[in-house]
Structure 1
Amino acid sequence: MNYILFDEPTIRTALLPFTFTRPVADIRMGIWTITEKWENWLKNPVSHLTESYLQPKFPHVAGTDNLYINGAVCPTDALVAAIRTLTDGQALLTTDQTLIAVRTSYNLDKAPNATGFFPVPTPETPVILRQLPDIFALNGDQIRADFARITAGRTSAPMTDPHTAVYGAENLFIEEGATIRASVLNAEGGPIYIGKNATISEGTTMIGPFALCDNSTVNWGGKMRSNTTIGPFCKVGGEVGNSVFFGYSNKAHDGFLGNSVIGEWCNLGANVNNSNLKNDYTNVKLHSYATDQLEDTGRLFCGLMMGDFTKSGISTLFNTGTVVGVNVNVFGAGFQPKHIPSFSWGGAAEGFSDYRLDKAMYVARETVGRRGLPFGLAEEALLTAVYEATRGPQTNQ
């Protein structure tokens, strides 16, 4: 059996800028990415059917018996059982005809649809990531679900620091190698997960549901509010609430970040702040890559969506419902625009220019290299493809 997570085209577009640089299923929501969730539930590796320029890094592995699963869907026991009972030529569909999975002997070269398959109804209404704000809105429940899977039958490492206060200790799980000093951890309202070799520094207040993934750090005096995930190898400080960091990104200093999603390899300078609620209490509008205009999210709270490899200077202010693309360098006074395209350089006061690909690539290579990780031809090709899709071919520089 080959398990392949596919990008449903409409959902992939709705989840830009994050899906410029990854398949839908590699978005982190909860403790794990969706890919990691499926691999845990299936007890098998999965591959991806995604955009052609992403396939070198996220290959598609198919054979004569394939289960193609919608990469925006979060697994449950009932859903996995239903998918495994599919026979060749069957498709699992929700009541609104959203395709969840198909089983086929064919090696598909694009995302499947239900046409030509025998429909089978889902046993329950699945959790599906459909829009950008879903990433943070669904995060608390996904922390709970992932926490239950990760900790089942396991014993937490002990809390050894006598100066740390823990409330709801039964909902706290600490992996080996984690360090916690003189903090307040309140897991009464939801679980707190502390990953391997993570660090919680002195004076931190943390409210569950909360996930601090492997090798990440909360700096001194951090105010970590509920429904938040800090992905692996991040450094965070200041106040963070109902937000998701995918991994390898920093917000090391004071400043507020709320109802926001930060991709990988990002850096927010000291005293960066975002608005997550409008003064007139109307719904937040967010830039749509599908319509190229602001669209109503239907939500009162929505903050910053920041694509991979983007950096912001000190004291940068992001307005309610701001979308920043991939590999942007933004700085300067005043609230920044509600949408900053990928590979832009500048700020609201100074204006924006194209971020030259060679310079952007150099900074990306240095950023990754500082963590001791390779940045090779596959990574260069991926970012070049994003540049050409968003700014035009290199020959037009």
Structure 2
Amino acid sequence: MRALVFEDDLCERFAPLTLTRHVSQLVWGTRTIWQSLQRLTKEELVPLGRNYLADVTRERLHVEYNPEVEEEVLLVNGRVRPDAQFERVLRSEPKSAVLFRDRLVMARLSKQQFATVVGEAGLVTPRAVARLAKELGTSEGHDATLFENIWEIVQSNGYAIVLQGHNEKEMAPPPRLSNVKGPSSNLMISAEAEVEEITSFDLSKGPVIIDDGAHIEAFSQVAGPSYIGPKARLHAALIRSGTTIGEECRIGGEVENSIMMSYTNKSHHGYVGDSIVGEWVNLGAGSTFSNLKNTYGSVKMEVDGKKIDTNLVKLGPMVGDMAKVSIGCMVFAGKKIGVGSQVMNLVRDDVPSFTLYDGRNSHGVELKLESAILTQQRMMDRRGMALSKAGERASLSS
């Protein structure tokens, strides 16, 4: 039996990050939701979602997408929080539909039942869930939960690192002149990583995990729980608790309680806090993200065209893939910067995808798509990589 990891209409709440990826490809802790599900279930995973993401998802995961179903399947929501509570529900193999706040978490379906669930856009619709719940019966009150908003991911990222904070790889000792505070068992340095002397690790709140090929330069300070991904490089950076640094990122300055996805550059001074930054983003020297209002009031974020009170005093911006933030740029708390956009000066509004925003015109100016793609190709060339046709199509469709 296969497990189909599906999207529903609420995947749009996780924009701009989900404009270019299946919702299960969001990072939580040291890995994506998809990778966590691979560890939790014995079934073969297959993604089910928005049609325009088919090619890029196949390319990323090397699996089928929106497959034909000829037998019983397990449906699992790609927004699921893949923690111990979900694992317990999964192991119990419930026969009824498992719901969280009237949204489907998981269900076992026959071929005939599956055929009635997926809409034309590749999404599982609320109407289909209601029909399914009536047919199968429901299991409310389970511990399994779904992420309902993008800020829930970043706010629980430190918890996820602690949850996932074990490493079976060969470990290396800290450098001779490093400063280690807290239990040394919380410091997990891959034998294939390089950590220079005169570095500092605060392990009192959780683990610091440094993956294969990462390079931590002298005078860097890293507080757990934090994860430094493969081939990432810290340039005398200050990494505070709750932070994930993705594969081949280049990080300087200060990053706090944030997720920096793979291949993103923030090589210079500046601050990022309580934010999620997508792949292939460049943050220029001195660019700073606010995560706190002058009033110390809760941050509001626009979701589905409405201002939503997050009830969080600290929440930073969310930045889509391929965005470029100029030197000295300041971005207000809770703002969104879309895919491929280029921003400068003061960002006080949400910025749509492929927009040139200079802080003077609240709507910005539409970027020529050819120019945005050329910029991205140049950035990838510097890493010896190329933008695939599938990646280009997914970006342009966002």
TM-score, normalising length from structure 1? 0.89
Q: Structure 1: which 5+ residue stretches go unaligned?
A: 387-397
Residue aligning to 1:20? 19
TM-score, normalising length from structure 2? 0.88
Match of 2:343 among 307, 330, 333: 330
TM-superposed CA distance for 1:339, in Å, is 0.5
Deviations 1:152-184 (A, max 9, x none): xx3651225211122221111122311111200
TM-superposed CA distance for 1:97, in Å, is 3.0
In 2, distance between residues paired with 1:212 and 1:270? 21
Kept in 1, the 8 Å contact 2:212–2:231? The answer is yes
Residue aligning to 1:4? 4
2:100 is the counterpart of 1:100: no
Kept in 1, the 8 Å contact 2:85–2:143? The answer is no
In 1, distance between residues paired with 2:9 and 2:349? 24
Return the letter of the residue paired with 1:101.
Answer: M
In 1, distance between residues paired with 2:85 and 2:70? 25
Helix, strand or coil at the partner of 1:339: coil
In 2, distance between residues paired with 1:72 and 1:87? 19
Match of 1:240 among 245, 255, 273: 255
Residue aligning to 1:395? none
Note the 1:46-125 alignment, pairs <5 A: 46-58=45-57, 59-61=65-67, 62-77=69-84, 79-83=86-90, 85-86=92-93, 90-94=96-100, 96-106=101-111, 107-108=114-115, 109=118, 110-111=123-124, 113-116=129-132, 117-121=135-139, 124-125=142-143
In 2, distance between residues paired with 1:104 and 1:224? 45
Kept in 2, the 8 Å contact 1:144–1:190? The answer is yes
Aligned length: 374
TM-superposed CA distance for 1:225, in Å, is 0.6
TM-superposed CA distance for 1:373, in Å, is 3.1
Kept in 2, the 8 Å contact 1:86–1:102? The answer is no
TM-superposed CA distance for 1:349, in Å, is 3.3
TM-superposed CA distance for 1:134, in Å, is 1.1
Match of 1:349 among 350, 360, 378: 360
2:299 is the counterpart of 1:284: yes
Residue aligning to 1:391? none
In 1, distance between residues paired with 2:141 and 2:84? 10
Note the 1:1-397 alignment, pairs <5 A: 1-10=1-10, 12-58=11-57, 59-61=65-67, 62-77=69-84, 79-83=86-90, 85-86=92-93, 90-94=96-100, 96-106=101-111, 107-108=114-115, 109=118, 110-111=123-124, 113-116=129-132, 117-121=135-139, 124-148=142-166, 151=167, 154=168, 156-167=170-181, 168-181=183-196, 182-220=198-236, 222-288=237-303, 290=304, 292-332=305-345, 335-349=346-360, 352-386=364-398
In 2, distance between residues paired with 1:170 and 1:309? 37
Kept in 1, the 8 Å contact 2:188–2:209? The answer is yes
TM-superposed CA distance for 1:377, in Å, is 2.0
Kept in 1, the 8 Å contact 2:89–2:144? The answer is no
Deviations 1:300-341 (A, max 9, x none): 111111011000110000112111111101123xx2122111
Residue aligning to 1:392? none
In 2, distance between residues paired with 1:48 and 1:122? 25
In 2, distance between residues paired with 1:276 and 1:156? 37
Kept in 2, the 8 Å contact 1:27–1:246? The answer is no
In 1, distance between residues paired with 2:206 and 2:220? 17
Q: Structure 2: which 5+ residue stretches go unaligned?
A: 58-64
In 2, distance between residues paired with 1:380 and 1:79? 35
RMSD between superposed Cα atoms in Å? 2.0
In 2, distance between residues paired with 1:127 and 1:223? 33
Deviations 1:209-255 (A, max 9, x none): 101111111112x1111011111111111111111112111111001
In 2, distance between residues paired with 1:180 and 1:223? 14
Moved more, 77-86 or 54-63: 77-86
In 2, distance between residues paired with 1:39 and 1:275? 35
In 1, distance between residues paired with 2:154 and 2:247? 17
Deviations 1:88-143 (A, max 9, x none): 7x31223x333110111325543152423423426742342211211210101111
In 2, distance between residues paired with 1:312 and 1:93? 40
Kept in 2, the 8 Å contact 1:272–1:317? The answer is yes
Kept in 1, the 8 Å contact 2:85–2:144? The answer is no
